[in-house]
A and B are shown apart, each in its own frame.
Chain A
């Protein structure tokens, strides 16, 4: 007796024509839902250039302080005064104990002002800082 498998007479093919559409849909979905947390920078600044720079691997730990050409200071999304820095940064440090503060300071700022900010950071115990700089070619 011969055994014969019963085969369905229907087509055995997966329709692949719509596959790219599905992938594009996925791509679009991720493109739309992903938000690169981008803070709107309200101050105008240009960074100094340096050679001996290191990259910060852990982007999650960074918190920024911007200092503009006109000496305005921005943290998060708002401009702050010098004496407010301590409280803001202290709260940040409590939320994230090993926070790295990236100082994006305009290259023509006065050192005295930068030192004042550093003093505030020291009072807030944010001791790991990073002077943001562009790579010198």
Chain B
């Protein structure tokens, strides 16, 4: 007589399933990036009706002009967009030891017809000049990069190398 063999109990161990689900959940929680906003931060000046003009000594100012074709003038001399960082760096560095009211001011002025991208590129160059100087300064003082410093140290560097960028209003062109 053929006798059917008794089948062994066929079960999948399910107790660890929860852990697997948890692992999956945690993996996706960690790996998901909800897109972070990044950009170039600026602070606008307050709006005042009558603008008082203050004379600033010439060696304190770096005036950047961008025209509608994207040509750049730095203090009256034509310059390529990508040279701005390297040209500004020594000028910022030379003013590190000066008091607060003598630091370099970078003024960016555009035409009304200037392309926004050109303006952002110029602003980017100026910002990276300031950031590089900050990094080098904190490296020589604290032996660390600016972003790795403690808050108090960061403020010290910020006082030494403040980022002063002035956005000049485009002149109204009479048509």
Is A88's beta carbon under 8 Å from chain B? no
Q: Determine how close the nearest CB of chain A comes to the CB of B113; give it in whole angstroms.
A: 6
As a 0/1 sequence over residues 125 to 137 of chain A, the CB contacts with chain B under 8 angstroms (1 = contact) are 1111111111110
Determine which residue in B21, B44, B111, B116 has the highest number of CB atoms from chain A within 10 A of its CB, and name it: B116
Main secondary structure of the interface of A (DSSP, over half): mixed
Q: Which residue of B lies closest to A56 (CB)?
A: B37
A–B Cβ pairs within 8 angstroms, 13 of them: A16-B14, A20-B17, A23-B18, A48-B120, A50-B121, A50-B123, A56-B36, A107-B117, A110-B112, A112-B112, A112-B114, A131-B120, A133-B39
Q: Which residue of A lies closest to B109 (CB)?
A: A111
Q: Which residue of A lies closest to B108 (CB)?
A: A111
Is A82's beta carbon under 8 Å from chain B? no
Query: Which A residues fall within an 8 A CB radius of B?
Result: 16-17, 19-20, 22-24, 27, 36, 48, 50-56, 59, 62, 100, 102-103, 105-112, 114-115, 118-119, 121-123, 125-136
Assembly CA distance A16 to B19 (angstroms)? 11
Query: Which B residues fall within an 8 A CB radius of A?
Result: 14-15, 17-18, 20-22, 25, 34, 36-47, 110-117, 119-121, 123-125, 127-128, 131, 167, 169-170
Q: Determine how close the nearest CB of chain A comes to the CB of B24; give it in whole angstroms.
A: 9
Total inter-chain residue pairs, C-beta < 8 Å: 148
Q: Which residue of B lies closest to A118 (CB)?
A: B44
If A24-B21, A55-B36 touch, whether A123 touches B47 (CB-CB below 8 Å) is yes
Whether the Cβ atoms of A102 and B170 lie closer than 8 Å is no
Whether the Cβ atoms of A108 and B115 lie closer than 8 Å is yes
Main secondary structure of the interface of B (DSSP, over half): mixed
Report chain B residues within 8 Å CB of A135: 38
Whether the Cβ atoms of A129 and B43 lie closer than 8 Å is yes
Assembly CA distance A119 to B170 (angstroms)? 11
Whether the Cβ atoms of A108 and B116 lie closer than 8 Å is yes
Q: Which residue of B lies closest to A120 (CB)?
A: B47
